[in-house]
Structure 1
């Protein structure tokens, strides 16, 4: 169903009747009358993110990020979500291999939660690792909705393995606030017809936070010399990719999107596309007061940073620009060639400019846009390769629901072992990922930038009967 038509409908009943018949959840861990393991409430809240800066938004349980949810891998859970906002909404459990009904994407058949109603989600959480939860509603041209709001939180699935030793864990979520539409700067890249690749409007922001505060506000992250600190970093922005550094320190990358990397490596600078997560160990061996923040001065001035304060140290936080570097996924991957897939799909995406009087670009996959795009069909148990070809001047963080994929090629370089659920495809680049069709049910893949997703950049994958 077209998410635009659903949310613009004046009657929820009419919209509900137009949905396909929904399958029942595969199990019910607790009777409906029993108390859920977790409870979330979607509702309005006001955040004081900086001195004299208040943000009115929508959040879970009146806080940003939402409550930290810890679960055990393989242990069934129930979560009651009550919608106390004015609009129908939905929660997506990002990175989990669960059924389509509970996944939290209307395109897959998950039900929207009408205003004033409660939805019970019931599933068995897997795989282990740093996952997250967030709204999966449409925003369109309403920048007070969906991922522009504070509706996001960490979801940690604890398994039996403990891949790293650490003394303290710190969860940091990045978000941008005060969105508005701004003219999009046309890229200098051109296609074979010498026409600009990017036109229309984009989203700009006034402020940025790590967790709920701008740089210089809120409490610092307090550490001790000699500690090994596990930082779980999440980019919960609606549209903005970020690059971070902590002067005087390096990040030992041990996991991406919750999955251990084949080749842990220390870097001075790390990149987080929209919806990506990185688990990094930082050795606290440079006593002082530092800024962990964006490598861009303008972004730090907007608030994108937090203070790291060693015990016994005071004073103004220090910043030092890191040496120039290029983010390279391949350095964390294996070098052997991945197995050949059973089949592959080549998916070329680009923007075709505003259509039908819209001021926003329409995005296409093989020249078609959601919802007028045929699904990809797969067979259970087979290995498939998705060849992502970026024909635009934008970066695109691509997310596959309900499955984890293995990155098998970036540009001309073949790799293996790097398992993710979001991959950022650079302008005019090609990336290949493999997944095993081992979780039957409708499965969505899309660009995680809200504006791109809302304007065509989505496609379903269906399992053959």
Structure 2
């Protein structure tokens, strides 16, 4: 691929993801939108990096108008076969984008058509091959609603990545051959043995998040860079906003293995949606986001200054972000390192329990309520669902139309963002207490925690259920939700 100059790179970045104040494209003139999986070159702190991406008509990603179907022709212009998953959307199973479930991967040079009704909100699309996603084969998928189209506000995308100059295979070799971090104890396949578990019981008999002196494993790899819209804080994405303007900030955590805290600094934000689904507004200036999840924040900018919006790496000083700036406002230099480490994310689930769905799941009797055990160890590096890796897994089963409640019980010392394909669900239980939580497609389960989700089983098909931590997924942390007619 021809190397871009730095000037050319910046111009291309601006066209792709920078000033995302969306306009209505003329989608009616064409029967299908073209989307290409292709190589591209980024400037990472002055060093060229060849990565992969998903190129639509206006750059990386797609923006669809209210009511617009996902009518897309996807072409693979990469040297390897791949396949793209439309994360959070609910297409027919054959279009879901998991290799051989049931469609094969897309061969180099092959084009495949997709056509399904869309769900409005902040979504994304990515390879359902972990090593490909780790090469940044991902992009935003924004489906605007009628309310978005009529609102007097600017829409901005904040697309987060972690990045390594080494190949994903080299990264995985380092991770799997590494040593357990300080404080990591030997564990059985389920994550902890019975005696350890007994020592961590509260009066109620449930595991407590103090973890009795055990250490959590927050990050199992130190990446070379952390990106927002393909850029680091040495040359951040600066988005010009109107004076005294209103912004809807659509945040996607597309990182392979990094949980972030979103820090809006001096401007207070309203969290109005998670994973594309509306929640009762929650005000604040710091919100956590795990891999695969999305946050929609509304900001009222009541002056003519600049507003850095930062993403802080959990348990570390590294950070990335973008800058909202009024016309003519000076943009400050921002360090890629914070003064102090960010805390662990939501170990007590205080953020999750504060979220309330705008449209809760209708009440009805539950027909199935399986418990799904999440386990694993740093050494050997092996992550499991119900003590098994993919290929040895036992499916979670249901019949189409049944109300299902799955309890995720994390018995490991790492958090797991659990993603269910083909469905949205509501969080209805946290550590044994019932709540009327958020509607989601990806829920973060901290170490030694229990989260219960409820949903109605959809199309009779095999749907993936997996951890969205890519090294965990690559080493087998996936099962299937098998729905029968």
TM bin (shorter chain): 0.7 to 0.9
Deviation of 1:198 after TM superposition, in Å, equals 8.2
Distance 1:36 1:272 in 2: 36
Instruction: Give the TM-score, by structure 2 length.
Output: 0.77
Distance 2:418 2:59 in 1: 23
Q: Does 1:363 align with 2:379?
A: no
* SS class of match (1:264): strand
Pairing of 1:109-120 with structure 2 (within 5 A): 109-120=102-113
Closer, same or farther: CA 315–298 of 1 in aligned 2, 3 Å: farther
With 389-398 and 102-111 compared, the bigger mean Cα shift is at 102-111
Q: Does 1:394 align with 2:414?
A: yes
Deviation of 1:364 after TM superposition, in Å, equals 1.7
Instruction: Give the TM-score, by structure 1 length.
Output: 0.80
The answer to whether the 8 A contact 1:95-1:402 is kept is yes
Distance 1:64 1:395 in 2: 36
Specify which of 155, 163, 166 is matched with residue 177 of structure 1. Answer: 163
Closer, same or farther: CA 297–215 of 1 in aligned 2, 3 Å: farther
Distance 1:123 1:48 in 2: 36
* 1:135 aligned residue: 127
Specify which of 270, 276, 288 is matched with residue 252 of structure 1. Answer: 270
* 2:291 aligned residue: 274
* 1:293 aligned residue: 310
Specify which of 61, 82, 87 is matched with residue 80 of structure 2. Answer: 87
The answer to whether the 8 A contact 2:253-2:289 is kept is yes
* SS class of match (1:216): coil
* 2:376 aligned residue: 351
Deviation of 1:291 after TM superposition, in Å, equals 2.3
Q: Which protein is richer in strand relative to its size? A: 1
* SS class of match (2:448): coil
* 2:61 aligned residue: 67
Deviation of 1:60 after TM superposition, in Å, equals 2.0
* SS class of match (1:108): coil
Deviation of 1:224 after TM superposition, in Å, equals 3.3
Specify which of 36, 43, 47 is matched with residue 41 of structure 1. Answer: 36
* SS class of match (1:416): coil
* SS class of match (2:133): helix
Q: Does 1:167 align with 2:162?
A: no
* 1:241 aligned residue: 259
Tell me the alpha carbon deviations over residues 311-370 of structure 1, each in whole angstroms, 9 at most, x when there is no partner: 34225257998998955112121699965422111001101565xxxxx62222222221
* 1:328 aligned residue: 351
Deviation of 1:186 after TM superposition, in Å, equals 4.7
Deviation of 1:278 after TM superposition, in Å, equals 0.6
Tell me the alpha carbon deviations over residues 19-70 of structure 1, each in whole angstroms, 9 at most, x when there is no partner: xxxxxxxxxxxxxxx97511122222211133x1221111223999723231
Pairing of 1:337-348 with structure 2 (within 5 A): 339-348=364-373
The answer to whether the 8 A contact 1:256-1:276 is kept is yes
Give 5+ residue unaligned stretches, structure 1: 1-33, 140-145, 355-359
With 177-186 and 58-67 compared, the bigger mean Cα shift is at 58-67
Closer, same or farther: CA 425–175 of 1 in aligned 2, 3 Å: same
Tell me the alpha carbon deviations over residues 255-310 of structure 1, each in whole angstroms, 9 at most, x when there is no partner: 1000101x211111011100111111011135433421134599675x61222223
* 1:311 aligned residue: 327
Closer, same or farther: CA 288–49 of 1 in aligned 2, 3 Å: same
Distance 1:299 1:64 in 2: 35
Tell me the alpha carbon deviations over residues 102-150 of structure 1, each in whole angstroms, 9 at most, x when there is no partner: 010125313210122222222222x2211111111142xxxxxx11122
- Alignment length (residue pairs): 415
* 1:207 aligned residue: 225
* 2:96 aligned residue: 103
The answer to whether the 8 A contact 1:210-1:306 is kept is yes
With 159-168 and 107-116 compared, the bigger mean Cα shift is at 159-168
Distance 2:480 2:396 in 1: 6
